[in-house]
Amino acid sequence: MSQPTLDQYHLALEMLAYKARISVVAKATGLPPALLRREYVRMHQKSPSCGAMKTTPQFFFKKFSRHKEATLFTFFYSLESEPNMCRKLINAYKRYTVYIKAVWRDEPLIDFSDAWFIAGWHDSGDLRLVRCSNCRSVKLVNKDHNLCCVCHF
């Protein structure tokens, strides 16, 4: 096993700052979960969240507000030209959170770990951004869900 590089540590700290799940950070950086857990507690003065990971994109289609924010995040993610998936994700998540806080004056409904899975599903083709034929806004669709979060068409 090779020594972790400074870039891996920097990436892990950046992801942990957004309260990413330990399993997501460990997968992205290759750093041991025990080290990441300790750093998370030091950084946030609480234990990291636990629970089941999302396995399908259906979780944000249940509420229009989450669907709308997932669409917005995916739009920002698709604008990024960074070749590194983690850097692309961090940059898109920064844009997304700044936009939500500035325009809606609220906290984002999609957390960093959810954004990780959405980005992965988008990269794999499970999720796509398309134009709504009714209102012409961008909508996020998959093979099971094709409803616009703006006009509900």
Kindly report, residue by residue over 126-145, the tens digit of the pLDDT. 999 999 888 888 889 988 77
Please choose, from the candidates 109, 25, 33, the residue with its C-alpha nearest in 3D space to the C-alpha of residue 70: 109
Using the structure block, give the residue that is written with the tokens 């990024």. Answer: 80
Amino acid 83: pLDDT: 93
Task: Output phi, psi for 103, to 5 deg.
Answer: -85, -45
Q: What confidence tens digit (pLDDT) does each residue in 84-114 have?
A: 999 999 999 999 999 999 999 999 999 999 9
Please choose, from the candidates 118, 136, 27, the residue with its C-alpha nearest in 3D space to the C-alpha of residue 78: 118
The Cα–Cα gap between 39 and 94 comes to 21
The residue that leads in pLDDT, 49 or 38, is: 38
Dihedral of alpha carbons 41, 44, 46, 50, sign? negative
Amino acid 105: pLDDT: 93
* 2 DSSP assignment: P
